């Protein structure tokens, strides 16, 4: 009894069909019924820009609320910029509690400068991966049946190689499903917090906002004046040293020139 030894994984991740040479055993892949998903798989990401009175206090409040909602912090970064103290938080909460967390954030802010919710439906991708996984698992069962009927070492090794390829694909698809389950059961929130509205990233509702441009222009002017003032202070400190060095240079140059001048004889 011989076995066809072509076992390359196809585009669907399943090994090709195997047929015994005596024609008694032939396995074909049957279409796996698509699962009936009543709930859509949606990855939800939210972004908030919050104007607050106290950045550190607000960060601690958000952390505490996240834990109360059975969520967890992903990243927290607090720093001080020209616009004052700012912070960036990334956290995840159960998807069913996103609206509750959003309401909480609106309540603790002096002003919600911007709010954005982005949803990405991955249901079709999820169903497709489940279908491919079902095909692979069915193929693995058939290959195991063929392995039991193999009579030579070469046949066993060939079938085992195909099984290893199938198992690698199965593990990969299971990992993808696990990741998608995690990202759809919880939602990520990225929160920007600052005591100054200009320290927050946001997309203006209007294409041209004179009041914001005026504030930015004033800040730029103040920054320029500060730079000029700093330069004047540095110059005032170093000017005596510079003038002294120039005076010494001039004196030395005159002395050298006088000494190098030839003496006239009568």
| Segment (H or E) for 99 | helix 98-108
What pLDDT sits at residue 262?
Answer: 62
pLDDT at 266 over 60: no
pLDDT at 202 over 70: no
177: phi > 0 → left, psi -120 to 50 → alpha, else beta; which? alpha
Among 68-72, 117-121, 133-137, the range scoring the smallest mean pLDDT is 117-121
C-alpha 18/C-alpha 27 separation (Å) is: 6
Residues in the chain: 266
Q: Grade residue 235 by pLDDT with cuts at 50, 70 and 90.
A: confident
pLDDT at 3 over 50: no
Q: Which residues contact 124 (CB under 8 A, 6 or more apart)?
A: none
C-alpha 156: how far from its chain's center?
A: 45
pLDDT at 168 over 90: yes
Q: Are 189 and 90 in contact (CB under 8 A)?
A: yes
Report the mean per-residue pLDDT for the chain: 80
pTM comes to 0.56
Tell which residue, 138, 142, 136, has the closest CA to residue 3. 142
C-alpha 60/C-alpha 38 separation (Å) is: 38
Q: Using the 8-state DSSP alphabet, how is residue 254 labeled?
A: H
What pLDDT sits at residue 220?
Answer: 76
pLDDT at 176 over 80: yes
User: What is the tens place of the pLDDT at every residue in 18-42?
Assistant: 444 444 444 444 444 454 556 788 8
Q: Are 51 and 200 in contact (CB under 8 A)?
A: yes
pLDDT at 134 over 90: yes
Tell which residue, 105, 144, 138, has the closest CA to residue 33. 138
pLDDT at 225 over 80: yes
Q: Which residues are registered as beta bridge partners of 73?
A: 91
Q: Grade residue 4 by pLDDT with cuts at 50, 70 and 90.
A: very low
User: What is the tens place of the pLDDT at every residue in 63-108?
Assistant: 999 999 999 999 999 888 777 789 999 999 998 999 999 999 999 9
Q: Which residues contact 218 (CB under 8 A, 6 or more apart)?
A: none
What pLDDT sits at residue 198?
Answer: 80
């Amino acid at each position: 009894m011989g076995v066809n030894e072509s076992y390359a994984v196809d585009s669907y991740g399943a090994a090709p069909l195997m047929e015994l040479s005596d024609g008694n055993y032939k396995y074909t892949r049957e279409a796996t019924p698509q699962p009936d998903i009543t709930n859509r798989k949606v990855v939800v990401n939210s972004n908030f820009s919050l104007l607050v009175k106290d950045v550190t206090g607000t960060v601690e409040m958000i952390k505490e609320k996240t834990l109360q909602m059975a969520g967890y912090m992903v990243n927290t970064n607090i720093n001080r910029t020209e616009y004052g103290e700012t912070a960036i938080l990334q956290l995840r909460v159960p998807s069913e509690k996103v609206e509750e967390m959003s309401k909480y954030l609106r309540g603790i802010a002096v002003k919600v400068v911007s709010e954005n919710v982005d949803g990405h439906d991955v249901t079709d991708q999820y169903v497709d991966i489940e279908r491919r996984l079902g095909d692979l698992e069915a193929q693995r069962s058939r290959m195991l049946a063929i392995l039991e009927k193999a009579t030579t070492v070469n046949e066993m090794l060939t079938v085992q190689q195909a099984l290893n390829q199938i198992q690698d694909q199965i593990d990969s698809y299971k990992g993808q499903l696990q990741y998608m389950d995690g990202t759809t059961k919880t939602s990520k929130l990225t929160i920007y917090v600052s005591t100054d509205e200009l320290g927050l990233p946001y997309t203006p509702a209007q294409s041209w906002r004179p009041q914001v441009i005026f504030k930015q222009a004033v800040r730029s002017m103040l920054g320029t004046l500060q730079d000029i003032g700093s330069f004047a202070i540095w110059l005032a400190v170093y000017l005596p040293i510079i003038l002294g060095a120039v005076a010494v240079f001039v004196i030395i140059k005159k002395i050298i020139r006088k000494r190098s001048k030839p003496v006239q004889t009568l």
